[in-house]
Amino acid sequence: MPIRSASFADLLPAAHVCAEAFFDEDLFGQRIHPNRSAFPGDVYLFFLRQLRKDFFDGHNTVMVSHPENQLACVTGVAVWTRKGRGGDRMAASQSWSAWFTGRFLLPAYNWLGSLIWPNRAADPAMLDVLDRAMPFTEHYWKTPERLENWYLALLGTGPEYQGHGYGKELLKWGIERATEEGICVSLVSANGKDLFYKRYGVDKEAGWASEGGEQNPIHDIAGGMILFSKKLEKKMQ
């Protein structure tokens, strides 16, 4: 299935894909958007604002999938983050205009947008829940063999397109980048999706995003298995 680097214009349809894909999922659906039944049309706003931040972060690569010969039809989206010094080098090579937009203009734009178009489906106290949960598990990425890795921050495929290979191609993009560099892949699996990732070699179980006791704000969320691939063999140039 065809995939390509996302353009800024792709972020809106990609956000709608994610809203549909995660509508009833434990974290993005039930916990972050408890009012989604009353305001189903607002859920995409959470993903749109996050995708905009990801798009202008030089550590990230946003990829989208689409049907053959239908470039404008977004069927899935993946956000791949290059962690470690390799990611810092990527960010350092980012254009000045993209850096300035991501650091200053976009936060103001998102803030103003949240006033004009509030996400009524969301619990405002939960919008930053992933940031607050991160300290409980970040040690898994600090071992020497895992410092440099490609991290799958988000993978979503529209419900009508699932089972057609779009998610597989978006996953393989990061696996191929990691293989080229001789580093590993990492991710946090949604509930019930770990077998999909294990099928393609991201199969080393490290822990759970919910661990750490009740102080972890997602301690009672289903799923969240932390997975790594083995350190992949670097391709010969």
The string of pLDDT tens digits covering residues 102-114 is 999 999 999 999 9
pLDDT, position 235:
66
How confident is the model over 2-27, as a mean pLDDT? 98
The answer to whether 207 and 137 have CB atoms below 8 angstroms apart is: yes
pLDDT, position 236:
54
Q: What percent of the chain clears pLDDT 90, i.e. is strictly above it?
A: 95
The string of pLDDT tens digits covering residues 35-44 is 999 999 999 9
**Interacting residues of 43 by C-beta distance below 8 A, sequence separation 6+:** 19, 23, 29, 33, 36, 119, 121, 122
Indicate the average pLDDT of the chain.
96
Q: For residue 161, which amino acid is it?
A: Y
pLDDT, position 237:
52
Q: List the one residue out of 139, 129, 130 whose CA is nearest residue 207.
A: 139
| CATH architecture of the domain with range 3-228 | 3-Layer(aba) Sandwich (3.40)
| Residue 205 pLDDT level (bands cut at 50, 70, 90) | very high
pLDDT, position 194:
97
| Residue 231 pLDDT level (bands cut at 50, 70, 90) | confident
| Residue 233 pLDDT level (bands cut at 50, 70, 90) | confident
Q: CA-to-CA distance for 54 and 61, rounded, in angstroms?
A: 8
The string of pLDDT tens digits covering residues 80-104 is 999 999 999 999 999 999 999 999 9
| Residue 232 pLDDT level (bands cut at 50, 70, 90) | confident
| Burial class for 116, CB neighbours closer than 10 Å (0-12, 13-18, 19+) | exposed
Q: CA-to-CA distance for 149 and 59, rounded, in angstroms?
A: 11
Q: For residue 74, which amino acid is it?
A: V
Which of the 8 DSSP states describes residue 164?
S
Sequence ranges of the domains in the chain: 3-228
How confident is the model over 51-64, as a mean pLDDT? 98
pLDDT, position 234:
74
Reported as type and span, the H/E element at residue 62 is: strand 60-65
Rounded to 5°, angle at Cα 211 from 210 and 212 = 125
The string of pLDDT tens digits covering residues 177-200 is 999 999 999 999 999 999 999 999
The string of pLDDT tens digits covering residues 117-175 is 999 999 999 999 999 999 999 999 999 999 999 999 999 999 999 999 999 999 999 99
